[in-house]
Amino acid sequence: MPLMAGAEPYRYEAGQVGVLLCHGFTGTPQSLRPWAEYLAAHGLSVSLPRQPGHGTTWQEMNRTRWEDWYSELEKAFQDLRGRCPEVFVAGLSLGGCMALRLAQVHGEAIRGVVAVNPSIANDVPLLRIAPVLRWFVRSVPGVANDVKKEGVTELAYTRTPVAAASTLPRLWSLVQAELEKVTQPLLVYHSTDDHVVKPTSVAIIRRILPNTQIEELSDSYHVATLDNDADTIFAGSLDFIRTHASVPLQRD
């Protein structure tokens, strides 16, 4: 299946500290590419994989489920861990949820987590009937490109594949049920004006993990890594990694 131009994965090898970046549902590595390049320029080894079914067609994505996307991230994590003694994970939207899941599964093997507008709750009424709807409707209008900054476009599907979306509630339930297993340092960026993910997810994180560092973004919509607050996220995440890494970054 041909790949969208700009949807390619990104990898950079540098020092002993690695970061795995996880893009969101129906999105591509393009939404996190500037973040990845920023971290690489400051001495981090970076892995930004393309998850199965993403960056091609929504029809192909309809043949995948959350376990397929997570499996690809798991492989990327194991590869990065084999090259770097310390690994951080980070993600946008559902990628933030995946990053939290990796932290739950791998415990101390992950030094810290950064999540931007993470999605961990089923706050979309349509998804409650998605397991039935999938037999009648193949796709619905997409949720991509929620960006405030003029002239910026997220590379993502304009349609949401219903069969793929119907698998999300199981992931959300799993991550919520085991959220207390996230004992690593956690930094969350939350856009106060987000048209995709409701405040429910961050509220759950605040309640279950009260020590979480939560930073509010006042000038960005959902895809904040491409928006007006992107530089704040990039610099803040780098400071977070420097604070919690036990070995220096290559360019420190």
Q: Which residue has the tokens 């360019």?
A: 251
DSSP 148: -
The H or E element spanning position 162 is helix 162-165
- The reply to whether 231 belongs to the active site is no
The H or E element spanning position 243 is helix 230-244
Catalytic pick among 190, 222, 229, 237: 222
Question: Are 42 and 251 in contact, with CB atoms under 8 Å apart?
Answer: yes
Catalytic pick among 31, 42, 45, 194: 194
- The reply to whether 93 belongs to the active site is yes
Catalytic pick among 93, 119, 139, 237: 93
Neighbours of 120 (CB within 10 A): 25
Q: Side by side, which strands form the sheet with 86-92? A: 10-12, 45-48, 17-22, 86-92, 112-116, 186-191, 213-217
- The reply to whether 194 belongs to the active site is yes
Q: Catalytic residues, which ones?
A: 93, 194, 222
